[in-house]
Each structure stands twice: as structure tokens, then as C-alpha cells.
Structure 1
Amino acid sequence: MFRNLFLAASVVCINVVLPAHAEDSVWLDLKPDLLSDQLLEIAKIYDVDVVFRNKDTAHKTNGYVVGQFTTQEALEAALSGSQLRFHQDKLGSYIIEAISIDSKENSAPRLPSEILANKGNDQSSAIALTGLDPLVLDTVLLKGSMLSNIRSLKNKRLSDTITESVFSDELGQIPSNNIGESINRLPGVSMLVEKGEGRYFQIRGINPTLNNITLNGTNIGSPETESGGRQAPLDMIASGVVDGVVIRKVRTPDMDGQGIGGTLDVETKSPFDRSSHFDGQVSAKYGFEEISALENSYGGSDPFALETTLSAKSRDQKWGMLLSGAMSEREYVASGIYQDDWSQITSETGDQTGAIPNLIKNNYYVIGRKRRNLNSVLEYRPNDTNRFYATTFWARWEEFQHRNRYEEVLGQELSFTTPTTGEVENVAANLNLRLEEPKKTIFSIAGGGEHHLDNLVLSYKLNSNQNQISEPNVFWKFATDPILGPESFIIDAKGIVHLTPQEEALDRQSPTYFKLETLDRLESEMKETSSSFRGDLEWFSSANTSLKTGIKYRSTHRERDFSEPVYLSGISQLNLATSSNFTHSAFENCNKSLCAPNILLDINALEAFYADTSNSLYFQLDEEGEFQAEFSSDYMVEEDVFALYLMGKKAISFVDIIAGLRIESTQVETSGYLLSDGAAKLIKQNDNYTNWLPSLIATWNLHHNLLVRTSVSRAIGRPDYTDIAPRSYLYENEAGEVLQIGNPDLSARVSWNYDASFEWYPNDLSLLYVNVFHKDISDDIVEVSQTIAGEDNIRSELNVRGLDIISDAQISGLDNLQIQSFINAGSSRLTGIELGLNTRLDSVLPSLFRGFSIAANATILDGETIIDGQSFPLLNQADHTYALSFLYQNKKTDASISYAYNDSYLTRFDHDNPNDNLSQGEFGRWDAKLSYTFNDGVKLFLEGVNLNNEPTTEFQGSRESWNTEHEYVGRTVYLGLSYGF
């Protein structure tokens, strides 16, 4: 027995042999499944050829098909209501094709009960609900979270490689606010939480900048500037415009080479996802935050979200259009404690020691976020063999971060009475107010086509992206002299320092003592434009053999303009008592850890004071830092990538093999500024490199429900834009002249990836799997400092780097020049195992409790970085992550509760001073959702986010008691209503 199933929107041919006869009537009992899987089973049982296009069947779900059937009756039952029909060709093969609207056969869709007469058996009636209609499982309507779960299982089973995915339910909804939080429960995938929301993703512990993110298979770039600029923020994309998210952990040769961890593809909705001519969905929800904003503070509105989708197809099923949109707003409070620079202190008497931070800060953070998404699709299918499409996607993100921070600087005049208690004299305080208002935009437009020409499939796609971020940032800093105190302190078990002023201490919340220290007025603009073209041609030489080749060209232009003038205190001294409008009130900033002193400042009053020209004497521009403020962060990068690949697929007995090679050539041109002779000089450099990326993948179909996958592949991780940009300046320190510069000569990291997986599908609603993998990464990028001795050597090195703008006069007389930059020097190794279980519990629970399911997974990682023969920990990698979800669905009720956890991990490693290491603390969050569906398609739902009010934490020196961050955002609850038609 063997099967041949070829995917990727191509012709699928199934030819199997089992001991049955085509004309015989056979009893069928097909469980809920993808339509493609049910057609496969029918082909097996009746010993026939069934030919269909995967694009028509891959995401269509089907209910039970039960009864005594001939071949044609079985196909009629499976295809009922699907807008598909069949006919036999001259060779007797059954060809599945779309029904023409003008055909008499389509005048009135037949109900399942009309397909078959009762054969005299009590179990002979057929049930076949197709498309995206709810599946029937006994008396349980399969929809909501269960339908989403089944679509993910089927996608994993039918994939060519190791994949994970999240798909929408029958109303087009994904069970989270944004796609970043949805994938956080997938095995081997973890989100980096930013102020209570998932933003960047890791795959198998790999840094987000080394993964690849695509939109409908096409690069979308990134509007970000932080962390090098290659990581795309997933919290910009609302779940309401998305049909699914697929993470491919093993790359095939027709995929981009970028993605050492893997590739995340966001699949937006399409008009041909459903069989009806016109349908839509609308959803609205309103939320409540546990931590409400203070009176007179900045922001504080309750959250809400709106989502809608409209889809239509022409009567002849040739044209399809879809428009989906989403908007949401949320304003919430993040209250946090931050304690920097822990160290061991010995009392002046020398008889008692203890550890205490030098700086204790508390934040009153108000965050506001607005998301806007629009997705449109226009598709034309003139016949079964041709398809043309055009898509647009637009995302807009607006945010404000209003941070009111109070800091106490303890200094060295302190004494311990016990290791966790003591007193401190002469405390200084800082009061900072920062208002950051970034605005980010993603705009992507694409068009392409697909054509089936006998045994050839030709596809092509043209894409253009425009990404932008604007980051205005105002930062007021006030400070006191070290006149506060004395204060006593107690360090609790969590490492939180509680400070209590003694009776004679000055009022630490009096505005009079806080004088203006600096005023930073940052403006940052980044624009990224890119375009790409890809073309693919696949040739099917037989039912079990194909050859595919293609090309791709991508060009990216990225430019950043950064300005940060700094103002110092002027001739006139400004303090917080200069105007009573500067402050609202003193208050206690309280959370689960402690209550700390703070003063609520008024940003509008401060900004109005600065704007008044009559107050100019209070401010003086820091001219010495002009280059640093105006030029050091400016850069331009042009990156062109040309790719060519060849790959083949071959089914040999029960083994499906994919083998091929991808070649990617990368050309980079960069420019930035160097400070020379007191002036900013523009420098330009370029580089190129080529990567050869082979892949070999084998899928072993050991049984109809047992798969083993093995693969060897090669992937790359390109350097960050900020690392290859020659942003530089020349300065002098106590050791001599220092040149700081980026390195445009950096090449991509290269990783050999070895994967093996075991997947057991005991039934259509269950999966047990084990994935084992190893990554061997070479040409890792490390920061280095190099000293060049002698004038001739200095001149030669600068010429090699293209830095001939440094004059001979500057070089003359130099004994040495220190160059600080990045190079390809290190290597990393990462080994891991992923375990997972996904099953419905009906077989082990009493009938009263039918409808319960469980999904659980765990990932264990072990990695290291090797530089000059020394081993260092792999940064930003949690060694253990796991997720657990309980689901219940029965008739009209759908409920789920989920928990996602990652343990602590290093974020900064100092080999010489291990006490300065920083680690992100463990994080585990509970979320839940409950919904009830009424008969008219209306769904009422209740969502709870961060039900356990889990804080984000950080600690120093590998000691959890040296706590450097403890921040809470509280619980959020949403009440919503959805309607599908």
C-alpha cells in the first residue's frame, strides 16, 4: 500500500491499491477530516485514481461520511455542499473540479439526506457538511477553538516539513488579541513580552532577528529600529484580518535562506476560503483593566476592539473579493520597581556585610496603543487551471508611553545591621518624565498568478513594501543634591528594597528640592522600502515525481535620520516649584511588591513652559554633544538579494523525499557618518557574499497514522542593519585614539540544521509527537576591539576599510589606533527536544463530560557560544518552555484556558565580572476564554488575559534575590459579541 500526495497548490494525484472492487458497495465510516484526506481514503478503499487541485481541498473541513456506498455515492457524499463535483475521464480516473454556476446540476444544492436512500441499515444515513461549516461529531458541533485546533493538526500532518500553526475558527477568529500571543502556546515558540504584550518571537531559542517573517509567503520587512531592525513586531497585526499563522522549522529549497530558527508566515483571509457567494463576520469587544489610572494622570481609557470581514464571489465563481479590517485601542498602567547595580557592601565597622543596589527606581507607566489593520484581496479564476490575484495589507500602530519615574541614589554611606537591614545617609533623588509617541506603519501590495499547463505549474508574484516609524521622545530629568535621608532599609525575600525615612529626614517628595538636570528632545525617522519578484516552475514527470525551480530578487532600501539635542540647566535655575502647574500631587506608587514614593508630573505644563520663548534662559543647548546628537545614529543601507533554486520531490514506496539546493547572493551598500576634524564626514562602503544552501528532507509514512520526518538543511541569519552601517566617530580617551565604526564587511551567519520528528495521529482529533534538533552555527557575529600599531599599518588598515577621509595629518604621529567594531568570529551550538500532546478526552471521560480536550507541549534547549576556544552561554535563550491548554466544546458552549511558561535566561554576560550578568526572570501567564453561540449565528464571549497578574522580572549576578525589575500590568477582561453571516 502506498500513497502519493503532492501539495503547494498543484495537481494532486492519488493512486493506491487495496483489496476492494470499484463497483462494490462498501461500508464507510470516515471521521471528520480535511476533504483532501477523505478523498484520499476513498481512493484507497475503492482502488481508484482521484485527481484534484490541492488549493480546492487543502483547507476544506468535512464531517462524518458514514454509510454503505459505491464509489460514486461515496464521492457525492464527500463533495456535497462543497461547490465541487466529479467526472470520470477516459482512463476511469475521477476528476474533482469546481461547479459552474450556470450548470443545471448547481441549481439547488442537495442536502445530505437527499443523496442516499436508506439501505436498510440503521447506520446508513450520510452526514457530509463541507467547506468551513461546523463539523458534526455525534451531538457536538465542531467549531470555535476545536475547529481551530483541528485545522492546525491537519496542516501539520499534510506539511512537507516540521511545522506548527494556528488557524481561525468558523467565524474567522484566532483566539488571541494579536498573532504574537497566539503562537506563544506553540511548541518551541516563545514571545518576548513588551509591557504586558507579546511583540517579538523566538523559534527554538533563536534570536528574533535571525528568524524570517513573511506575509502570504512574501517578505514584509520591519518598521522597527531597535535590536538591529530585522525583527518585525507581531503585535502590529490584529488577529481579525488573519486566517492562520504557520511556522516552518525546516526550510525547503523554495523558501528564503534567512531563518536559522525558522520562518513565520502570516496568512491573511481570502474570498475563496468559503463556499458561499457572500458572507461576512463582525466582532466587537469592550474591556476592563484591573489597574486603573490615577486621577489627573495621562491616559486611562478602557480598551475596546472592532473587527469585520466581508467576502463576495461572482455568480460564475470566477471573481472573488474580500475586505477585512480591525481596530483596537488600549490604555493601561504598568507599575514597576527597578533596582540597578547591586554590589556587596561592608559596614564601616567592618563586622557586617550585605548586598544592596545603588539605584532604586519606581515607575508609574501609562501605555496607550492603537492598532489599525486593513486587508483586501481581489482574485480572478477564469477556469480551473488559471488564477490571478492582487492583495494589499496595511497596518498602523500608534503608541504613547508616559513614564513617571522616581529614583533614589543610595551612594556608599550606608551600614548593615543584618545582611538584609540597615541605614543609609545622604540620599539623592531623581525625578524623570518621559513621553514617547512612536507611530509605525506597514504597507504591502502584491500581485501574481498561477497557471496549470498539463504537467507544469507556473506561479509568479510581484511585491512592494513601505514601512516607516516616527519616534518623537521628550525626556525631562530633575535631580536633588544628596541631602535626603537618613533612611532605614529592609530587603525582603524577593530582593525588593523597602526604604523608610527617619524622623529627621527631609520630605523626599517636595518639588522644591528637584532641579532641572537635562532635557532631551529626540526625533527619529526611519523609512524602509522594498520590492521583490519571484517566479516558480514545477514539472510533474509522473504521479510520484516532480521537479521545481525558481528565482527571486529582493531589493531593500533602509534609511534612518536621528536627532537628539540635549539641553542643560541655563542661566536661570528651573526646579519643580518654579510653577505650581508642573506637579499634580505626591502619591504612593503601589503594586503587589511594595508602595514607593513618587510625584505625578504634568507633561503638558512642562512642554508649554519650554515652548514659551520668554523662558529661554532656563535652558542651554549642549553643543559639545552635537555630533552624537545629530549624526552618530544616522545610516543608510541598500541590500539586494538574488536567489536561484532547484529541488525535486520523489515518492518511493512509503517515503517522500525532497532534495535541492538554493543559492543566494547578497550585495550590501551602506553609508554613515564619521567624526573627523570636528566635523561630520559621510562615508560609504559596500560588500557582497554568496551562500549555498542545500536541503534534504525525508518523510516516512510508516503507517496511515504514523509519520517520521528527518532532514538536513542549511539556513542563514543576516547581520543587523545597525551592525553593517558605518555609523562612526573618532575620539580620544586615556589610551589614545579610538575609532568606533560598524562593519559593512559582515557576512551572514550560517547554520547547519539537523531535525528528526516522530508524529503519531491515533485519530483525527489527536496527536503525539517528539521533535529532536541540533543547530551548528558558524560565522557568528561578535563585538571586538582591535589595536593597530604604527602609522603605516594604521594607514593601510584604514585604506582597506575605505576610510581614506581621515587625513594624513591626523594619522601622522599616531603610535596606535583602537578600532571597535563587529566581526564574524564566533560559533554557536544549540540542541533541543520538543514534546507535545493534543487529544480529545471523550474516550477516557464519562459521557456526561464529553467535549473536553487537552493540548500540552514542552521544549528543552541546551546551547553555547564559542569564541576563541572559550565557551559562553547562549544569550536570550530559555532552556525550558512549556504550554498547556484545556478546551471544552459541546453544542453551543466553547471554553478554553491556557498557560504558557518560560524559565529565566541570560540577557547580558560579562565573563570578567559575573556579578554584572543580567537575567530575565521566569514568566508564566494564564489566559481564558468562554463563549456561547446562539442559533442565529451570534456568539457572546468573555476573555481574560494575564489572570494571574504575572510580573516581568529581571535579576543580576545569577541571583534572583538581586532583583533589578518587578513590573505588573494587571489583569484584563473583555466582553464581546461576534456575528457571522
Structure 2
Amino acid sequence: MTRSVLNFKLVAPLAAAVISINAGAQNSAQENESTLMETIVVTGQAANARSDIERQRASNKVVAVQTSEAIGELPDANVTEALQRMSGVFIARDQGEGRFVGVRGIDPNLNASTINGMSLPAPETGSRAVALDVIPSDLLASLEVFKTLTPDMSADSIGGAIEIKSINALEKDGQTYKVTIENGYGELQGENSPKIAGNYTNKFDLNGRTLGIALAASHQTRKFGSENIETDGVWEAFTALDGSEGVTAAEIEQRDYTVTRERTGLAANFDLELSQGQRIYLHSLYSDFSDEEQRQRNSYKLDEENDDPDSISATAVTWSDAALEKELKDRYEEQEILSLVLGGEHDLDKWGVEYALGFSHAEESEPHRRDTTFVQEGLQLGYTSAGKIPQMFAADASALDAASYALDELVIEDNFTDDEEVSFRLDFRRDIEVAGNPSELKFGVHERRREKTGDLNATIYDGFGDDFTLADFANGNIDYGLGTFGPGIHRGALNAFIDANIGNFEIDETDTALDSARDYVMNEDISALYVMNDIDFGRANVVYGVRYESTEFSAEGYRVAESGEPIDGAEELAEDVYVTAANYRSDYSKLFPSVNFKYDYTDNIVLRAAYTESLSRPSFGDLNPSPAAIEFDDGELEVEAGNPLLDPYEARNVDVSFEYYADALGMFSVGAFHKQIDNFVVTADVSSITDYSQYVGSLAVEEAEIFQPINGDQATLTGAELAWTRGFDNGFLLRANATFTDSEASLGLGAESGRSDKVALPSQADVVANFIVGYERDALSLRLSTAYKGERLLEVDLEDEAFDLYEDRHMQVDLSAKYRFDNGLQVFFNAVNLTDEPFYANRRGYNGQYEEYGPSYVLGVTFSSL
């Protein structure tokens, strides 16, 4: 049995410092200066918290800020994990590590990421979202998450705009340096993970000009793994052969991962201050990320031969004539990102000009990936308990006998993705008066030229010239804590066999041709003009204006069909497989008005309101003109395809907030926001309105499932944000934030679908929260942090909403402890995921995916300039 599903692809030094702070409103210079200023002695954590708060207060937009010093206080290894501590931000994890970033419950694909002011490309094949875990946190000066936009910012952000700033020597006091050496230990795999990082800054006097040089480097090798059990497909109702009734899944997988990830980051920034207000700069950042993964997998294919189980209950099931597959995925993946920005800033009396030329390049290579499958059929299989962790069983002793598994299939892939962007911006500003009030008029032009290409290749072998079994490549029983796994596959022995005999293997020409015709080239050219006015009215400030963006999009790919007869104008790739070129073009433009209002109601209270319009372009995977997969067997057709003619998401956004800043270290803010999103994209079964001949030519189709992204109806999202920081004289610092969201999206299915048309916004976490307790006294610094993410919708069952797939709530607890010596030496200890929090996704309490990672620990030393 099959069921239609809708899958969303959205996936300081320790010594006390004396700091002077302005306890009054920024625009209240007429008040007595002595009443505005007070001197407070604070230590490292408090100083960093104050810096973040003051930058947030000074902004003319709704923003969350985190400086590099604050990032270093927590055990966050990369940009993604550092961002999770900020108000309204959640992260999507892979193998327990943070990879993608969502803001205010919005899918990561609907956010924008920039580094040093320039857009960041995405190395992943189908993604527009950048997996920010490729950038080590050691290279950062600050992170900013803008939740409202001004016209001088790119409009392509519905969730939020993430700005990454690398280190800048002109912002430092003379020569500084820092070197960190550490080693991590993962409890689940028992592996060590060393890391070394350092940065150096200095300023040089060049005949009245100041040259600032900032260099940073980081390298980490992390060895870890995870244990997983997940359902391939959905849970559905069955009537067993003995007449019993219940709910079960047709395929369940046990997975054991061994992973080695290496991250290398380099940054070199050169800033030349020609004179006061005159600067030119060259900022560069390079990141290399590699991921070597070995995945041992058992696939319990329960309905391989029979449509119904032998017996079924609420917690157990037994199937006969089932199959058990054992597979090894042997994959090495490397991602590189290079960002170069050349620009300048010049104050010319009442005029000012800024310009920047940027080049960004990202690529992902997956060479020689091998997926090898062994199979044993005719088994009696099932589970003795369902729920979160199904306990699988095999009634036949041969299930644990490696010699009983025959070599069935080998898939070798060579995949390469390239994403490149050239951008230019020119901005002018002019000091003017508006009704006697000082203001700044700003206007400019921005140009972006982006090209994303994919070269995807697969060769499928299904004949091997002899009867080889798993016994020839057995690796002993896998150490697996979620049940009985049985023998695994020895990587070295298998690869040696493949390398020596691959010339004798038989290729499945049809499946190879279908899986390889997935190449694409997509170009996206964006031209923008804007004008804005920033006016000060004493205690009030307003920024308003309009941005115009024009987009030219083109996509080149292939139409692929399996047909019994030739197709006119098509090239025959293999017997009965034909391909034709597919070219698409889509042009659109839009005006984006916005207004941001800020009012210093009192010396301690700031009120804000904003109305903005924005858009998010669909992910490249959704726009891909080449089908991701085509399967046709005995009249049953299954297709996963993109849609290059999708319209972009368009949003109207309203924000209001109240912020209270205490005279001592402390702040409290509460805000509300509402987003109305048009052209919402969903992936739906469009078989009822699709011409099957484009996939199968003249062949007869009895049953079809064709999944394709389409523009749906309107979606809305409403939420509230709270943030609180409080410092105490005894050394304690408390920080907490929470974001609550509620959303509704229309699928546009119609009454005949049999289920509700309304769902929550996909990937939206209903609650995102952080709570941090810090303590600092003399040389000792402690931080205990909790990051919480509420339930979120991942997948919709088109027939019954009871089987929608939800990611369960997740709460991770981390600890950081540091001890600083007077000579600049610091010893630190970090503990990540102390409570061994797993990942769990479920359908009405039944397993969707359960994965454990275990806690990990880091011990290290840092030596820095005083």
C-alpha cells in the first residue's frame, strides 16, 4: 500500500574593566550630562552583555546582536550554534550539530545570510539556505540578526537577515593575539576531536594613514557518530491475515553512523584609514568543510511480498515473506566557501559615499560515493513494541548469518555543485534638514549576478558475475544501543573488492540513465534601486523609504522519460530512456516600502514599530528543471520534480516592541509581530493534472504519484518575543528569551482530499527559548545554558492529518567553565548536550525518526594578549 505525503523542503580579559555607560536616552543631549553618566565596574560576562544590549538599543531596526566575546563564553563551535542563543532563533541539526538557522519559526530557506555585507552562496545542491556550520566561530567579530529591514538592505528575507562580520583590526587597541588549543571527546563513539585556532590584529602608521591587519585561522577534526531508527514512509491502518487490525509501517530502518568532520577557516582583513572618515578595505574569508560518513543500515522491508501482515496489535506486528537489506553508505563530501569584498567609505562634508565589489564562491563535491546493498528474502520479521523506539525482531536465525545476504546492488555517484555570485553596491548619503530636524537622505544601486550549477552522476550496478554474500565482507556485529543490529559491512574489504572487479559488473542502463540526467544551470540576476530618509526628532527616529528589485531568472535542465517508443526530438540515453533539453525563464519586479519608528519614551524606555515588505525566492531544489527521481514499474509511476516557474514568496510584516533598559546592567523587552505571506510554496501530488507522457512516453500508467512544488494559498504567522537580562553585584548574570508563534497555511487541496486544508506553517517552531545562568568572580567564569525548541511540522499526510510528521520538542543543556590567569592564559572546559537529548520525530506517537548522539566534552587552553 502507498500513501500520498507532502514533504516540505524548506530542512575579555578577566580583570575588571571600568566601563562608562550612558544611562539616559541617546538623543537627550539637552539634559545635564552628569545625570546621564555613571561608572560601573563589571567583569567579562557583564561587559559583553552590556555591549550587546547597547548595540541593540542604538539600532534603528529590530535586531539581536552577539559580539565575538559573548560567543566565546559558550561552547559553540560554529556560526549556527552561536546563533541559537539569540532571541527568536532556532537551528536545524544534522548528526547533533547545528547546520541551518531559522528565525521566528520561519524555514531557513526564507532567511538571508551575508558576510561583511555581501550575500553568502549555498554549496548544497538544492538549498538556498547556507549551512553556517562551515564557518568557525573563531573568525567572527559579531553576529547580527535583523528582524526588520530598511530599504538599503536586500529584500530577500521573510524570516530574518543574518549578518556575519569577521574581525577588523581598526576596532582593536593596537596589537592583539589569541591562540586556542583544545581536544573534544564524544561519549557515544569514544573518539577524540582536536582543534587549534588563533587570530592576530595590529595597526600600522603609514605617514599619517593607519593600516589595520586582522588575520584568523581555525582547524578542527571532529570524530563522532549517532544511532538511529526511522520509518521510511508513513504509518497506516492494516487488517492482518488473522483478522486483527492495527496501524503499522511497511519499512523501518536501523542506522549506525560513524562521522569525521573537518573544518578549516581562514580570514584576512585589511583596512586602510586614509584620514578621518576616509577608509578603503579588503575583507576575505575562506572556509573548507569536509564530512566523511559511513552509515551501516538495516532496512526491514516488511511488505516486500505480501500486502498484509500475519498479525497486528497496537504495539506489535509480524510479517512473512519479508526482506532484510543491509547497506553501507561510504561517502566523502567537501564544501568550500570563499568571500572577497573590496570597498571604501568616504565622508565628503555633507555628502558621503560607500561602495563595495564582492565575489562569493561556494562549491560542494561528493566524489566516488558508494552505496552497496545486500539482501535476504523470505524472512519472518516485525517488531515487539512500537512507539518512539520500535524493537525489531527476526524470527529466522539466518537474519544474523552474514552468508545468507546476497550482494544485490551497487550505486556509485559523483556529484558536484557550484554556486557563484558577483555583486556591486554604490550608496550615497546626504545630510539634510526636514522641518528643522537633522536627517540623512540615502540612495543607491545594488547589482547581483548569481549562477548555480549541478553536475549529478550515478552508475547503478545490479549484476556481479558470481554469487557474492555479506560473509565475504563481514565486519562483525555492530555495536548498536537501540536494538539488535547483527553483522555489518567491512568498508576496506568491500572497497578492495569493488576496485579489483568493477570492470566485470553489469550496469543497469535504464536506472543509470534516469538517475544521471539531473544536471542543471540556474542564473539569477537581481538589480535594485532604493531611496530612504533617516530623520531624528529629538527623542524619536524614523527611517522610511522604498526599494525596487528586478529579478531575471533562467533555468536549463532536462526532461527525462522512460518510453517504449522513440520520442520526437529526444536523445536516447539508454534503451527506452529519452532526454530533451528544458529551458525556462521567469522575470519579475516589485516595490518594497518600509518604515521603522523608534521613540525614546523615557531615559529607560524605548518603543519601536515597523512595517516592511519582503520576499523570499524559492529554494533551488524547488526551482530545478530536471526531475530529482523517476521510478516506473508495472504501471506504477512515482516522480519527484521541481518547478522552475514558481513565483517567489511575498510578505507584509508588522512589528511593535517595548524595551526597558535599567540604569544598572539589565534590560527587558517584549514585542509582537505579524506576517502575511502570499505565494506560499507547497510540495503536492499533482498527478491528477499532469500529462504522464512527459515521464513515460506512450507507456500505460495505472497508478501515479507525482510530487512537485506549487504556489499555494496565503499563510499567516503571528508571534510574540520576550527577552530579559539582569546582572547582579555578586557576579551572577541571568539572560532569558522566548519567542511564541502561531501560524496557519492553506494547502489548497479541495474538499475531496478528505483532510483539513489548514496546517501550521511548515518548519515553524511554536516556541523557541533560551535560558543562561552566568557566574563570574575573580578568575573563575561559569555559564550554564539551555536552548529549547518546540514542536514543529515537517511533513503532511495528504489523506489523514493524524499521520502528519512532527519533530518533537528539543531541549539541550550545555556548560562552559573557564579559569583565567594574570599572564593571559586561560583554561576552559565545555560540556555539550549534558542530558543526552535525542532527536525525535513522530506521527501520532509512532516513530518517524529517533536518533541519539550522546554528550561530548572539550578541554582546552587559550593564550591571549593582555
- Coarse TM-score class (shorter-chain normalised): 0.7 to 0.9
User: Structure 2 CA distance, aligned partners of 1:353 and 1:588?
Assistant: 35
- Mapping of 1:387-786 within 5 angstroms? 387-411=279-303, 412-416=308-312, 419-421=314-316, 425-472=320-367, 473-484=369-380, 489-491=383-385, 494-500=387-393, 505-542=396-433, 544-577=438-471, 579=472, 582-590=473-481, 594-613=482-501, 616-617=503-504, 619-631=505-517, 633-675=518-560, 677=567, 678-728=577-627, 742-783=642-683
Q: Is the 8 A contact 1:172 1:281 kept in 2?
A: no
Distance change (3 Å), C-alpha of 1:889 and 1:731: closer
Q: CA deviation at 1:785?
A: 6.5
Offset from partner CA, 1:92-111 (integer Å, 9 cap, x none): xxxxxxxxxxxxxxxxxxxx
Are 2:250 and 1:355 aligned? no
Q: CA deviation at 1:484?
A: 4.8
User: Structure 1 CA distance, aligned partners of 2:683 and 2:612?
Assistant: 28
User: Structure 1 CA distance, aligned partners of 2:458 and 2:637?
Assistant: 25
Partner residue, 1:858: 738
Partner residue, 2:573: none
User: Structure 2 CA distance, aligned partners of 1:304 and 1:630?
Assistant: 38
Q: Whose radius of gyration is greater, 1 or 2? A: 1
TM-score when scaled to structure 2? Answer: 0.88
Q: CA deviation at 1:890?
A: 1.6
User: Structure 2 CA distance, aligned partners of 1:345 and 1:724?
Assistant: 37
Q: Is the 8 A contact 1:177 1:238 kept in 2?
A: yes
Partner residue, 1:186: 86
Q: Is the 8 A contact 1:33 1:764 kept in 2?
A: no
Q: CA deviation at 1:820?
A: 7.0
Q: Which amino acid aligns with 1:270?
A: N
* Equivalent in 305, 317, 323 of residue 195 of structure 2: 305
User: Structure 2 CA distance, aligned partners of 1:264 and 1:575?
Assistant: 51
Q: Which amino acid aligns with 2:357?
A: L
Q: Which amino acid aligns with 2:864?
A: G
User: Structure 1 CA distance, aligned partners of 2:637 and 2:291?
Assistant: 41
Q: CA deviation at 1:740?
A: 7.8
User: Structure 1 CA distance, aligned partners of 2:23 and 2:170?
Assistant: 16
Q: CA deviation at 1:421?
A: 4.8
Structure 2, unpaired ranges of 5+: 1-16, 562-566, 568-576, 751-756
Q: CA deviation at 1:821?
A: 4.8
Offset from partner CA, 1:535-586 (integer Å, 9 cap, x none): 1111111472111001100000111100111111344222112x2xx11212
Structure in which a larger fraction of residues adopt strand: 2
Distance change (3 Å), C-alpha of 1:34 and 1:169: farther
* Equivalent in 762, 771, 782 of residue 895 of structure 1: 782
Partner residue, 1:206: 106
User: Structure 2 CA distance, aligned partners of 1:873 and 1:423?
Assistant: 35
Q: CA deviation at 1:333?
A: 1.9
User: Structure 2 CA distance, aligned partners of 1:398 and 1:437?
Assistant: 7
- Mapping of 1:161-176 within 5 angstroms? 161-169=61-69, 175-176=75-76
User: Structure 2 CA distance, aligned partners of 1:150 and 1:828?
Assistant: 38
Q: Is the 8 A contact 2:46 2:727 kept in 1?
A: no
Q: Is the 8 A contact 1:484 1:506 kept in 2?
A: no
Q: CA deviation at 1:885?
A: 0.5
User: Structure 2 CA distance, aligned partners of 1:179 and 1:476?
Assistant: 35
Q: Is the 8 A contact 2:23 2:603 kept in 1?
A: no
Q: Which amino acid aligns with 2:287?
A: A
Q: Which has the higher contact order (CA 8 A, sep 6+)?
A: 2
Distance change (3 Å), C-alpha of 1:679 and 1:255: same
Q: CA deviation at 1:204?
A: 0.7
Distance change (3 Å), C-alpha of 1:867 and 1:918: closer
Partner residue, 1:290: 187
User: Structure 2 CA distance, aligned partners of 1:838 and 1:47?
Assistant: 26
Distance change (3 Å), C-alpha of 1:891 and 1:818: closer
Q: Secondary structure at the match of 2:510?
A: helix
Q: CA deviation at 1:447?
A: 0.6
Mean Cα deviation higher: 696-705 or 739-748: 739-748
Q: CA deviation at 1:422?
A: 6.3
User: Structure 2 CA distance, aligned partners of 1:880 and 1:508?
Assistant: 44
Q: CA deviation at 1:171?
A: 10
User: Structure 2 CA distance, aligned partners of 1:980 and 1:39?
Assistant: 34
Q: Which amino acid aligns with 1:769?
A: S
Partner residue, 2:724: 837
Distance change (3 Å), C-alpha of 1:661 and 1:735: farther
User: Structure 1 CA distance, aligned partners of 2:506 and 2:218?
Assistant: 46
Q: Secondary structure at the match of 1:153?
A: helix
Q: CA RMSD for the aligned pairs?
A: 3.2
Partner residue, 1:251: 149
User: Structure 2 CA distance, aligned partners of 1:287 and 1:783?
Assistant: 41
* Equivalent in 804, 816, 823 of residue 917 of structure 1: 804
Q: Which amino acid aligns with 1:387?
A: R
Q: CA deviation at 1:210?
A: 0.9
Partner residue, 2:169: 271
Q: Is the 8 A contact 1:173 1:239 kept in 2?
A: no
Q: CA deviation at 1:945?
A: 0.6
Distance change (3 Å), C-alpha of 1:955 and 1:452: same
User: Structure 1 CA distance, aligned partners of 2:379 and 2:28?
Assistant: 82
Partner residue, 2:849: 965
Q: Which amino acid aligns with 1:964?
A: G
User: Structure 1 CA distance, aligned partners of 2:292 and 2:23?
Assistant: 48
User: Structure 1 CA distance, aligned partners of 2:326 and 2:632?
Assistant: 33
Q: CA deviation at 1:424?
A: 5.2
Q: CA deviation at 1:736?
A: 11
Q: Is the 8 A contact 1:171 1:281 kept in 2?
A: no
User: Structure 1 CA distance, aligned partners of 2:543 and 2:801?
Assistant: 46
Q: Is the 8 A contact 1:429 1:479 kept in 2?
A: yes
Q: Secondary structure at the match of 1:826?
A: coil
Q: Secondary structure at the match of 2:813?
A: strand
Q: Is the 8 A contact 2:229 2:851 kept in 1?
A: yes
Structure 1, unpaired ranges of 5+: 1-29, 49-63, 67-126, 128-135, 294-300, 843-849
Aligned residues: 814
User: Structure 1 CA distance, aligned partners of 2:417 and 2:348?
Assistant: 44
Q: Is the 8 A contact 1:588 1:595 kept in 2?
A: no
User: Structure 2 CA distance, aligned partners of 1:429 and 1:188?
Assistant: 44
